[in-house]
Structure 1
Amino acid sequence: MRSSESQGLNGKLAESASRGWVDRQLGALTPRQKLAQRLVALPGITNDGRPDQATRAALAAGLGVLHGLTGVSVSGAARYHVEVAETGAERALPPTLVAANLESGIGYTLGDGGTHFPYPRGIGHSDDADLARRLAEDAGREARLVGFHWTFSPCIDVLTERDDPILGVRAFGVDPRRTGVLGAAQVRGYQDGGLLATAKHFPGHGDSPTDTHAALATLPRRPEAHERVHMPPFEEAVAAGVASVMVAHVALPGLGVDGPASLSPVVNRTWLRGELAYEGVIVTDSLRMGAIARSVGTADAAVAALAAGADVANVKCSADEIPAVLDALEEALWAGVLDHEELDRSVERLLRARARLGLHRGHGIDLERCAELDAGEPWRQEGLARTVSTWSRPHLPGPAVVVGDSSLARLVAERLSSRGKQVLYEPAPVDTGSLSSVARKHPDATIVAVTCPLPAEGGRDSAAFACTVHSLRAEGRPVVAVVNSAVPAAELRVGGPAVSVPAVDAFGVVSRASVAAVVEALR
C-alpha cells in the first residue's frame, strides 16, 4: 500500500475510534454527570500539593473543567494534573479538561515558570501573523506538557475605548481587520500546539469603560459599529476553526440585548449558532465576576447560562460548591428549564473536543520536562524588539541608571545588567525631585525613567510623568522614558526617546518577554 493511502486509512481509523469513544462516553454518563461536564470549578489543593477532598469529590461526580492552579510551580502543577487525570480514569469518566488564562504562557496562571511570552499587544505592535502563530504554537506545546488543555485566549476584542480599564495589553490593539488576522493566527497556533483555543470576549468588549469584574457593562453600541468593528475578528476566528468562544458580561440595548450577553439566548443561539454558524463550544466568562454575582447567585447563574444556550457555565466556584450547583441544574432539567437534547449536544461537543486533543489515549504529561520549566525564562525569539513601540531612537551608549519603584523597573535594570550594560538601579518614585537627585549623583549616566501605570490609565500616565521627563531634558540630561502602555510610543508625548512596552496587565502580571524586548530596543 502506498504511503499516502496508508496515512489516509490510518486517519479514517483514528477518526472512527475517536467517534466510537465519544458515543460510548455519552451513552455511559448519567444526567447528573452530563450536567457536571458543563461546569468549571476552581481546584483545591492540600499542603502536600494534591487535589483536596472536595476537588476529588467533584471529579468523581463528573466535573468537566478545572480552572488553572495559582501560586504553584510548573512541576507541582504537572503532578497535580496527573492525579486529576488518574481520578477520572479510575472511574471511567471523560478526562477532566484543565483550563486557564494562558495569555502570556503557563506562568500567567501559575505565577511563574515556563516560557514568558509577550502579551497580545506586543504582537499587535509587530503586526506579524507568523510571529503570532509561532508564539501561540510554542505556548500550546509547553502547556500540554504540564497538563493544560484549554486556554481562554486570545482576546480578539477591538479596542475603541481609550480608557478601557481591563483589556489593555491583553488585546492586540489594532484595527478590526488586523485584529482578525492576528487572532486567527493565534487560534491556529494554539490548536496546532495541542490546546483548545478560545476567542473572547464575544460579542466584543473593547468599547467598554466598565470593568466587568466589578459591574455589568452597558454599551451604547449601534448596529453599524457592531457589524463593521466588533464582529469581523470573531468571524475570522470561526473560519479558523476556533474550538471555543467565550461570551462576555456586556449588555447591548441598542441591539436588543438588555441583560448580560453571557445569559442571552439571542447572543448564543441567534448570533453565534445562527448568524455565525458556529458549531464549537460556547463558554461564559466567569460567573463569579461582579457583573453577574452582584445580582445572581452561583447556582442560579449556572442555570441561566445553560438555559440561554451556553455549553459551559464558567461558575469558577470552589469545588465544595459543586454539589449544590448540580442540585439546582438537575431540578431545572426535570422541570424543563433545561432541555435533555441540548444537554446531550453540549456534552457531545465537549467529548469531541477531548478526542480532538487525543485525551482518550492518555494525558501526555511529561514530569521530567516540567521540572526543567520551573525556572521561567523569556521567549527566545529573533526580533523581540518588534513587540514594543519606540520613538526617537532610544538607546544607551554608556552607563545608565534605571529609576522607578515598580517590578517593571527592577526587572528592566536586572535584564540590562545581565546583558553586559553598566547599569545601576534606583528604586525611587519617578518624580522631578527623584530624577534630579539621581542625575546629580550620576552626571555621566543616561537616566532610564520607568513608570508602570495599569490599563485604566492607558499608558498616557498623566501630565506629571511627561513634565518630569521634560524638566530633566531641559537641564541637558539624556533621558529615556519607558512606560507600561498599550499605546504607540509617539502618543506618550515625553518629548524625546521613549519605549512603550505592553509588559504588565491590569492584574499586575509582568511579562518577562516584554522586559527582554525593552532591553533589545535599548541596545
Structure 2
Amino acid sequence: MLLDSLTPPPTEPLSIDEQARAWVERTRDAMSIEEMIGQLFIFSTSQDSAEELGPLLALKPGGINRFPRNDLSAFRSASVHAIEQAVVPPVFTGDIEGGTISYPFATTVPNIMGIAACDDLATTEAIARLVARESRVLGYDWSFGPVVDINHAFRSAIVGTRSFGSRPENVLAQASVYIRALQEEGVAACLKHWPGDGFDDRDQHLVTSVNPLSVEEWHGLFGRIYGQLIGQGVMTVMSAHIAFPAYIRAHLPDAGREAFQPATVSHLLNQRLLREELGFKGLIVSDATGMGGLTGWMERSETVPAVIENGCDMFLFSRAPQRDYGFMLDGLRNGRLSEGRLYEAVTRILTLKARLGLHRIDPAERMMPIEAMRDALQTPDHRVAALQAAGQSITLVKDTQSLLPLAPATHRRVVIVAEEGFSFWDGALSRGYGPVLDELRARGFEPRMLDVDQWPTREDTDLVLYLVGQEATPSAAHIFLDLVKLHGSNRKAMSQFAQEIPTALLSFGQPYYLYDAPHMKTCVNAYSAIEPVLRETVRRLTGEAPFTGVSPVDPFCGQEQLRW
C-alpha cells in the first residue's frame, strides 16, 4: 500500500547557532589527523568498568555505546570516567527499544510493536517521552531508533517486534510521534534500517539481506516514510547491511555482484539517494560493523575506510578497536578515505554534539548525582504510564472455542508449556514466566510445568497454555514455534493437545506463531515478556480487564486456515 501524503521539504536537523558553530570549527581545526580519525568511531562497552574503557578512550572516539549491567552506581561511574578522560565530549548512544532489552534500572516499557498495538498516538508519545527522560537521566544523548522497517515478511526474525508493524501509514504515524517526542526531550533519534528492511526474511546480522522493491515501489513506501521523517527533522539515519539492487542497476545497468552491495558501503544509496534525492542533512551512522551482512562482503582493511568514504559519518562498533582504527588511518594514507570525506564527517559529528548541547555542558554536571538518578528513574508516574501501555497492547487474536474468560471452576488444573526465548543484547532483562504462574495461583488456578515424561490427559488437566517469548532479536535466523523443544523430542513434537484438552497459545514475542500451530483455537499476542505485560495478560485472560490491543500486523499470515 502506498502512502498518499506529500513529502515536506527537508529541514535542517542539525541547525546550531553561531556560538555553537564557532565551537565546531575551533574544535575541528585544533584536532590532529589521528584525533579526527578517532571521532569517526562509536565503540561499545558492556562491563561498566574503567578497565574496559581504558584502551577505547585512548583512541579518543566520537562516541561510546552503553550496554548497562545491573549496578546503577557502576554504570554512572564508568560514564563519568569516559567524560572526564575526553577532551572532546563523547556522545553516549544506546539501543533503546523497550521490551526485554529495557535497561534494568529504568522503567520497563513495551517494545515498539507493543506500543503500536496500543493503537493510540497519545500513548506512543507518553512512552517515548518517558523513555527519553529516563535515557537523559542515564546520560544517553542518542537513541538508535525507532525502527521504521515494514514488517512484510512475517518470517523475519530481525524485524518483527522491533517494528511498528506491516501497514506503512501506521509506521509513519507512530514513528513521527515517537521521533518528535524523543528529540523534544533532548535525545537524537535515528531512522533504521536504511534503505528499508522487512521484505527479506533473512537477518543482516548473518547475511547481506535484500530490499527487493522496484525503484518506483520503494519511493511509494520507504522513500515516502524516510522523506516525511527527514522533512520533520530527524537528526540521524542508520545505514544498514541491506542491498537495494533495483536502485543500483538504475544507475549502473551492468552491475553484477555490485548490485547487492550493502548500503553501508554504497555511495549511491547513502549519498545520491539519501542525501541528494531525499535531502537528508543530518548524520549517517553505519549499522554495527561486525555483522555478517558487512563482514561477508569485503575484507576488513577495505571495509573500514569504505564505510566513511561512501557516505557514513560514523563507524559503529568494532571487535578489534585498535586494529580498525589503524585500518581507518591507513585508508586515509593510501587514498581509500579522502581528506574531504574525513573533514565532512568530523564536522557533522561535532555539529551533532553541539546540536545536543554537549559543547556547553560542564563535564562535572553531565551526569546527575547517584541519588538524584535513582529518584528520577522508575517514578510512580512513569510506572503507571508503562503499566497502562502494557495492558493496552495485549491483543486477542482469536478465540473460536469460546475459552475465555478463564475461571478456576472450569480450568483449575493448568499445564504450562513454555519457551522463554533469549536476548542477544548484553544487560537485557532476565526472562521467566514466574509472574504468570503467580497471578494464576493467586486466582485459584493450579499451574504446573509440562512433564515430558508424564503427558497431560483429560483426566488430570483442564487447560494447556503455551507460553512463547521470543522477541525479534539478532542472529536468531528464524523464529518459529519449536515443538521439538517445547515437547522434549522429535517424536513428541508430533503430539498435539488442542483437540482433546482446551488449549491456548500466548505469545510474549513474535506475533506469527499461529503459522506453525493453526489448530490453536485461542491465541493472544502480547509482544514482549516484560513483567507488567505478563501480569496484565492474566488479568485479561480471566476477564478482569478487556482486550484492547489492535494487531499491527496480520497474525494470520495471509492464510485463511489460521483463522479457524
Q: Distance in 2 between matches of 1:495 and 1:308?
A: 49
Q: Distance in 2 between matches of 1:113 and 1:299?
A: 39
Give the % identical residues.
Answer: 20
Superposition deviation, residue 202 in structure 1: 0.6
For residues 475-486 of structure 1, the aligned pairs below 5 Å read 475=500, 478-486=502-510
Which amino acid letter does the alignment assign opposite residue 323 of structure 2? Answer: A
**Tell me, what secondary structure is at the counterpart of 1:482?**
strand
Superposition deviation, residue 272 in structure 1: 0.9
Verify: 1:266 aligned to 2:258, yes or no: no
Q: Distance in 2 between matches of 1:514 and 1:432?
A: 31
Check conservation: 1:75, 1:370, Cα contact below 8 A: no
CA separation of 1:483 and 1:301: change in aligned 2, threshold 3 A: same
CA separation of 1:448 and 1:40: change in aligned 2, threshold 3 A: same
Verify: 1:301 aligned to 2:291, yes or no: no
**1:396 paired residue number:** 406
Verify: 1:421 aligned to 2:456, yes or no: no
CA separation of 1:336 and 1:471: change in aligned 2, threshold 3 A: closer
**2:66 paired residue number:** 68
Verify: 1:131 aligned to 2:123, yes or no: yes
**1:357 paired residue number:** 356
Superposition deviation, residue 282 in structure 1: 0.3
Verify: 1:405 aligned to 2:418, yes or no: yes
Check conservation: 1:261, 1:267, Cα contact below 8 A: yes
Q: Distance in 1 between matches of 2:77 and 2:40?
A: 24
Which amino acid letter does the alignment assign opposite residue 286 of structure 2? Answer: T
Q: Distance in 2 between matches of 1:141 and 1:267?
A: 34
**1:100 paired residue number:** 94
Verify: 1:85 aligned to 2:83, yes or no: yes
**1:450 paired residue number:** 467
Deviations 1:452-507, CA, capped at 9 Å, x for gaps: 456565666779999999965544x554321245437987645533211211xxxx
Name which of 180, 187, 191 aligns with 1:195.
187
CA separation of 1:241 and 1:415: change in aligned 2, threshold 3 A: farther
Relative contact order: is structure 1 or structure 2 higher (C-alpha 8 Å, sep ≥ 6)? 2
**Tell me, what secondary structure is at the counterpart of 2:186?**
coil
**1:213 paired residue number:** 205
Deviations 1:180-200, CA, capped at 9 Å, x for gaps: 111121111222232211110
Deviations 1:150-179, CA, capped at 9 Å, x for gaps: 211111101111211212111111311211
Q: Distance in 2 between matches of 1:402 and 1:348?
A: 60
Check conservation: 1:161, 1:206, Cα contact below 8 A: yes
Q: Distance in 2 between matches of 1:64 and 1:225?
A: 37
Check conservation: 2:468, 2:509, Cα contact below 8 A: no
Deviations 1:419-470, CA, capped at 9 Å, x for gaps: x4334442327x8974x34x64455xx5433234565656667799999999
Check conservation: 2:83, 2:90, Cα contact below 8 A: yes
Q: Distance in 2 between matches of 1:187 and 1:297?
A: 35
Superposition deviation, residue 367 in structure 1: 1.7
Q: Distance in 1 between matches of 2:532 and 2:497?
A: 29
Name which of 140, 146, 152 aligns with 1:148.
140
**2:323 paired residue number:** 324
CA separation of 1:211 and 1:324: change in aligned 2, threshold 3 A: same
Q: Which is worse superposed, 96-105 or 463-472?
A: 463-472
CA separation of 1:219 and 1:364: change in aligned 2, threshold 3 A: same
Superposition deviation, residue 249 in structure 1: 0.7
| Structure 2 residues not aligned, in runs of 5+ | 1-15, 249-258, 421-430, 545-564
Residues matched between the structures, number:
484
**Tell me, what secondary structure is at the counterpart of 2:88?**
coil
Q: Which is worse superposed, 378-387 or 63-72?
A: 378-387
Q: Distance in 2 between matches of 1:21 and 1:232?
A: 35
CA separation of 1:145 and 1:440: change in aligned 2, threshold 3 A: farther
Name which of 387, 397, 409 aligns with 2:393.
387
For residues 217-236 of structure 1, the aligned pairs below 5 Å read 217-236=209-228
Q: TM-score, normalised by structure 1?
A: 0.82
**1:521 paired residue number:** 540
**1:186 paired residue number:** 178
**2:344 paired residue number:** 345
**1:367 paired residue number:** 370
CA separation of 1:406 and 1:471: change in aligned 2, threshold 3 A: closer
Q: TM-score, normalised by structure 2?
A: 0.76
Verify: 1:487 aligned to 2:493, yes or no: no
**Tell me, what secondary structure is at the counterpart of 2:238?**
strand
CA separation of 1:465 and 1:63: change in aligned 2, threshold 3 A: closer
Verify: 1:157 aligned to 2:160, yes or no: no
CA separation of 1:454 and 1:19: change in aligned 2, threshold 3 A: closer
Check conservation: 1:389, 1:488, Cα contact below 8 A: no
Superposition deviation, residue 377 in structure 1: 7.2
Q: Distance in 2 between matches of 1:300 and 1:406?
A: 42
CA separation of 1:269 and 1:212: change in aligned 2, threshold 3 A: same
Superposition deviation, residue 74 in structure 1: 3.2
CA separation of 1:378 and 1:299: change in aligned 2, threshold 3 A: farther
Q: Distance in 2 between matches of 1:432 and 1:385?
A: 36
**Tell me, what secondary structure is at the counterpart of 1:201?**
strand
Which amino acid letter does the alignment assign opposite residue 371 of structure 2? Answer: E
Check conservation: 2:212, 2:244, Cα contact below 8 A: yes
**Tell me, what secondary structure is at the counterpart of 1:262?**
helix
Q: Distance in 2 between matches of 1:335 and 1:115?
A: 49
Superposition deviation, residue 380 in structure 1: 3.1
Q: Distance in 1 between matches of 2:312 and 2:30?
A: 23
Deviations 1:58-89, CA, capped at 9 Å, x for gaps: 3243211112235443332122111111111x
Q: Distance in 1 between matches of 2:296 and 2:383?
A: 39
**Tell me, what secondary structure is at the counterpart of 2:43?**
strand
Check conservation: 1:22, 1:348, Cα contact below 8 A: yes
CA separation of 1:238 and 1:402: change in aligned 2, threshold 3 A: farther
Superposition deviation, residue 99 in structure 1: 1.4
Q: Which is worse superposed, 207-216 or 263-272?
A: 207-216
Verify: 1:243 aligned to 2:243, yes or no: no
Which amino acid letter does the alignment assign opposite residue 422 of structure 1? Answer: G
The structure with more helix, counted as a fraction of residues: 1
Verify: 1:500 aligned to 2:525, yes or no: yes
| Structure 1 residues not aligned, in runs of 5+ | 1-13, 504-509
